[in-house]
Structure 1
Amino acid sequence: MLRTKPTILAIVLALCGISVANAAVVIGGTRVVFPAQTRDVSLRLENKGGDPALVQVWVDDGDERSTPTSAHAPFAITPPVFRIDPGNGHALRIVHVGDDVPRDKEVLYWLNVLEIPPKASDAESKNVLQFAFRHRLKLLHRPKDLPSSPDRAVATLRWSIEQGVDGASLKVVNPSPYHVSFNAVDLHTSEGAGSPVSLGGGMVAPGASLGFPLSKDRDSFDTAKVDFVTINDFGATVRGSAAVDR
């Protein structure tokens, strides 16, 4: 499940005696996989709060500043705006309305879910600050009959330590037609004596590469191994490891 956390600003304002609205809408998943052979898919939303919530949804092609009127993506959502009462749920219907997408690899889009809280009943009598919470989920359009399976994509990754103008980096190349998302990447070296270097997370697209900057030059590494945690179609974490070329 995905849920928005309170921001630091919200916590500070709460300590100052100003009321703050909290995110109440819970989304039934951390990503949406859209099979190309399917005309539409559904996603469940639930209102776990005590007040009604107005929700607006749209899909974009990677522009974080997109709005429902400026977004570009071959998808339509019905309905685009709706209300969810406390304790109730709602199923989004996402429809694919375009055909000009690659058929040899996944394409990444983003599903935006904007939660607009109702006006506070005591807004006239005291200071009240309310937030509109925007959730942003990956939407993966997956062509039919891709070679291998998503679970096999991790096994095809190639890891190496590369030297660049700005220093060395741990590079991962993804030859598969699937996106691979990392929750964590840890580099083990012979120098580290068992203490891994934590490099964070990220995502590598099909046929692309991703670099994790290192604090030392490539010649400083003798042997290396990488441990990583990936996120599968269901939002579950899967651990893996691989040797690193240098």
Structure 2
Amino acid sequence: MASSESKKIEQPLLTQKYYGLRLGTTRVIYKEDAPSTSFWIMNEKEYPILVQTQVYNDDKSSKAPFIVTPPILKVESNARTRLKVIPTSNLFNKNEESLYWLCVKGVPPLNDNESNNKNNITTNLNVNVVTNSCIKLIYRPKTIDLTTMEIA
């Protein structure tokens, strides 16, 4: 009835990894005469994060005429890096600002610490939270790019 090898059942092991990516700005302004613009991101966690970036039109579903380089990158723990926003076409309205959305997705690593001890049965419950943060990307044509002194 009783086995000579009894197995010990432990409580589930809960590991949590969540988004810890900070954007260095609340909006990015691309000026018409500039070849590109940039912004920085920082990984505030003690583990690396995979970062994916995309730019969408105002409807947040269709692709915008911009790319972010690099589009996918690994950001090490407590590291800061700069991303560049580059236009892909010249199909902009020359007389008014245009609004786009720059979205940055942070993906934490999976937990690889699994116990294979034959005397212990361990249940692992891994929770990975992936968050997509979107900030405004504003295209500003030369015709309305005036300084405060020029307006006064």
Settle same-fold status: TM greater than 0.5: yes
Query: Are 2:69 and 1:78 equivalent residues in the alignment?
Result: yes
CA 1:123–1:63: 2 relative to 1, 3 Å: farther
CA 1:51–1:138: 2 relative to 1, 3 Å: same
Q: Deviations over 1:109-135 (max 9, x none)?
A: 000101011002346741112111100
Query: Are 2:81 and 1:90 equivalent residues in the alignment?
Result: yes
Alpha-carbon separation, structure 2, partners of 1:46 and 1:148: 31
Give the alignment partner of residue 121 of structure 1, picking from 92, 95, 112. Answer: 112
Alpha-carbon separation, structure 2, partners of 1:52 and 1:119: 11
Give the alignment partner of residue 103 of structure 1, picking from 94, 104, 108. Answer: 94
The corresponding residue for 1:221 is none
Give 3-state SS (helix, strand or coil) of 2:109's partner. Answer: coil
1:62 positional shift: 2.4
Cα RMSD between the aligned structures?
Answer: 2.5
The corresponding residue for 1:204 is none
CA 1:123–1:22: 2 relative to 1, 3 Å: farther
Amino acid paired to 2:127:
L
Does the 8 Å CA contact 2:15/2:125 hold for their aligned counterparts? yes
1:100 positional shift: 1.3
Does the 8 Å CA contact 2:56/2:102 hold for their aligned counterparts? yes
Runs of 4+ off more than 2 Å? 17-22, 121-125, 147-150
Give the alignment partner of residue 30 of structure 1, picking from 23, 26, 31. Answer: 26
1:43 positional shift: 0.8
The corresponding residue for 2:48 is 52
Give 3-state SS (helix, strand or coil) of 1:109's partner. Answer: strand
TM-score with structure 2 setting the length: 0.77
Greater relative contact order (CA < 8 Å, ≥ 6 in sequence)? 2
Give 3-state SS (helix, strand or coil) of 1:145's partner. Answer: helix
Give 3-state SS (helix, strand or coil) of 1:37's partner. Answer: coil
Structure 1 spans left out of the alignment, 5+ residues? 1-16, 151-246
- Counterparts of residues 1-246 of structure 1 (less than 5 Å): 18-64=14-60, 66=61, 71-122=62-113, 125-146=123-144
Quick one: percent identity of the two aligned structures? Answer: 26
Alpha-carbon separation, structure 1, partners of 2:114 and 2:37: 39
CA 1:148–1:84: 2 relative to 1, 3 Å: closer
